[in-house]
Amino acid sequence: MDDTQLPRFCRETRGQLLALMAGELSGWSERVVRRHLRRCSDCAAEFARQERVNDGLSQLKQQAPEPPPELLGDLLAQARQPGWRGRAAVPARGAVSGARPELSVAFLTLGALATTGVGWAAWKSSRAAARRIRSHAD
């Protein structure tokens, strides 16, 4: 039966089953829910099912699914031969995070040189443009 078709009290009780099992209900709420469970066989059966689900999930915690046998080999091969993104990303992250200070210095030096180069080229081209404008004006 769909929960929405249940009597209100049964619906509310079933909504509290998890909290009841987790010991999260206060004294009064717990007494109300437990009293209903004693009187309503459908809700008592639902509570028993919830206990089985909880038992099953607890057992599941202890039984981790086994990885396929080839997975470890694949992972180790991947670690030894990272793709170009991996190869580029590791030193870059190391430089940014400061874990590889020599790379940080190299990146900063390269950045400064590149910025200086771009600035010098822009200054030269603006001077050439100014000269052309002056020669046209003359």
Site of interaction with other proteins (CB under 8 A): 3, 14-15, 17-18, 41, 44-46, 48-50, 52-57, 59-61, 63-68, 71-72, 74-76, 78-79, 82-83, 85-86, 89-90, 93-94, 96-97, 99-100
Pick the closer one to other proteins by CB: 79 or 133.
79
Work out how close the CB of 1 gets to other proteins at its nearest, in angstroms, rounded to a whole number.
10
Exposure b/e, 24-36, CB count within 10 A at least 16 = b: ebeeeeeeebeeb
Nearest to 19 by CA among 66, 54, 56, 67: 54
Work out how close the CB of 84 gets to other proteins at its nearest, in angstroms, rounded to a whole number.
12
Work out how close the CB of 46 gets to other proteins at its nearest, in angstroms, rounded to a whole number.
6
Pick the closer one to other proteins by CB: 79 or 137.
79
Which residues touch 95 (CB under 8 Å, ≥6 apart)?
103, 104, 106, 107
Cα 87 to chain centroid distance, Å, stands at 23
Pick the closer one to other proteins by CB: 32 or 90.
90
Work out how close the CB of 115 gets to other proteins at its nearest, in angstroms, rounded to a whole number.
25
19 CB-contact burial (10 Å; exposed 0-12 / middle 13-18 / buried 19+): middle
